[in-house]
Amino acid sequence: MSPLPVLQNGRAKPPAAGPDAFLPTTPDEVRARGWSALDVLLVTGDAYVDHPSFGAAVIGRVLEAQGYKVGIVAQPDWRSTADVSRMGRPRLFVGITSGAMDSMVNHYTAHKRRRSDDAYTPHATAGKRPDRAATVYARLCREAFGPTTPIVLGGIEASLRRIAQYDYWDDRVLPSVLVPSGADLLVYGQGEKPVLEIARRLASGEDICGLVDVPGTALAVPDLALAMLEGRARKTLELPAYEEIALDKRRFAEFSRLYHLEHNGENARVLVQRHGRGERARYVVVNEPMAAPSTEELDRIAELPYVREAHPSYRGAHIPALEQIRWSIQILRGCAAGCAFCCITEHQGRDIASRSEASVLRELATLASKENFRGTITDVGGATANMWGMRCTDAGAHAVCRRASCVYPTVCKFFAVDHGPLVDLYEKARKVKGVKHLFVGSGVRYDLAQADTKNGARYLKTLVQHHVSGQLKVAPEHVCEPVLKLMKKPGVSSFEKLRKDFERYSREAGKEQYLVPYFISSHPGASLEQAAELMEYLQDNRWKPQQVQDFMPTPMTLASDMYFSGYHPMTGEPVHVTRDMEEKRMQKALLRWGDPANRPLIEKALRKLGRLRPGERLGPGMRPARGAPKRRGPGQGSGDGPRRRGGA
């Protein structure tokens, strides 16, 4: 397999057109580099921002560093082939991504309402990419370049739709995106290594049909013999067929359990799933995951010559996603937590890939040297900010491990939990010339810090006293234990301990700072009664959340599979699911009790629960009048949530 880009003196080689050059986006820009044609064309649903947080830019720079001629078409008009074909047919392949988000998540709210903006588009203009963007772009490129041009899907939309999956917006099980798109290959997870392997083998003269064994890829074939599974080192696991799981929810839950156990690149089997019957049958083959990048590889990727700006064709237009991450540094990838509702583990993997301290400090110095830098780094983090440097310490245990989480229900004894090196990194980062403020804006897994008996308290104290911008955002998500168990989140006692530590460390630093908790409404297992208990908890603590995430099922997550099937895939036990949109709105309103506009929905919910009598209204503070009845729903009891600490 081709290595990742080689560094010279700690820096990646600049492209031939100079270190400040964007990848070509027009025929004129291709000619300016002295090229007659491209090797690889990348098509993305995001605006072209040449920054290490934008996937198309990363893949383009990685390929460029290996000598490939790469061009980018961003947000093409999908009603015509003119945009995608403007730089001509590429020599090797077309790479397609919907962008940094699944296009349906990008377009619709949890209540299936069309969004009015798009953070990845100039001026946040909505409607610059189609629904099901990966499929639409693949078909468009097939029309533009014909049947012999290899088409490779990648990015999060392709990654989370690599096999059959429940789709919330159609409210049904959809086939692997490989089937409707007609793409030749699909790259899932972190794409740099698979993409380089694909490019290398195609450049050496192999046919795309022969690239059936690349880790981190999936393909669809009409005859399973074409996948050449015989003689492979990995065993094969046949998943229930698409038609079976689309019709039988219990069978779907069994299917979910099977694929959720095949995430470890060291022992995962090759997955096979039949779609269709007879002459129309297609066999989707998902190869084992590609190994996560090493520290050295991740350093090289991060230090490629990104311009770190939007393409000049946008004329300085405001792109919200760029402004959010412009002065941030990604220090790790992957997440070992495996929260049921989160797609990061399903996409980036459970193994943590961490950059070196030296690389992070070099990037920090580079940002601080820019003329428009004003002294504030908005984030030093990743999927979970405090997992930097953490890993499995036992190679033998890792080779056979099938745990879905390294930290839940307890931290694995082989998972190295030491925040000391991260505290040292923060200290060195604060001393970089030009840096006045250095904040951690990514999520923090506070139970992980609490499990670190050696340096956990030191980490939290350092975080609170030096790296909070006034508000520390954390995600307890709920307070009722049965719901937290389904989420795979720590109990409310862990959050309460964080609250006390946060207040104490802030007081010691002489700073007025606030803890901002995030919560999810309508998660599988969460009833209306439990939402009311969470509202009481928020009222007792004088929290009025401005943002509450109503649960949105995203493809391939455990919680989404619970939502569709009504069963917990790992236990087979039934799970309460809220599907009614009116009840979803009521749960969200209960959590956002501080907004007077939510009063009618809150009163309706409390009447439904027997907490308000017919015609009775809420009193001051959005609480029922003293003495109003409280009725527990079926299966609810005093053990389901925290006790209230104050009266009405």
DSSP string, 492-545: HHHHHHHHHHHHHHHHHHT---EEEEEEEES-TT--HHHHHHHHHHHHHTT---
Interior CA angle at 645 toward 642 and 648, to 5°?
110
- Asked if the model's pLDDT at residue 595 lies above 80, the reply is yes
Give the number of other CB atoms < 10 A from CB of residue 222: 12
Q: Is the pTM of this model over 0.85?
A: yes
pLDDT attached to residue 318: 97
Residue whose entry in the numeric block shows the structure tokens 């003329």: 371
Percent of residues, the chain, with pLDDT higher than 70: 93
Residue of 307, 312, 285, 253 lying closest to 21 (CA atoms):
307
Please report which confidence band the pLDDT of residue 614 belongs to, taking 50, 70 and 90 as the band edges.
confident
pLDDT attached to residue 4: 53
| Contact present, 274 and 295 (Cβ < 8 Å) | no
- Asked if the model's pLDDT at residue 17 lies above 70, the reply is no
- CA distances to 78, 382, 431, 432, 643 from 436, rounded to whole Å, are 45, 21, 9, 9, 43
Please report which confidence band the pLDDT of residue 11 belongs to, taking 50, 70 and 90 as the band edges.
very low
Name 237's bridge partners: 271
Residue 476 has, within 13 A of its CA and on its CB side, a CA count of 21
pLDDT attached to residue 616: 87
Query: How large is the average pLDDT for residues 527-533?
Result: 97
H helix runs in 294-382, sequence order: 295-302, 320-325, 344-348, 357-368
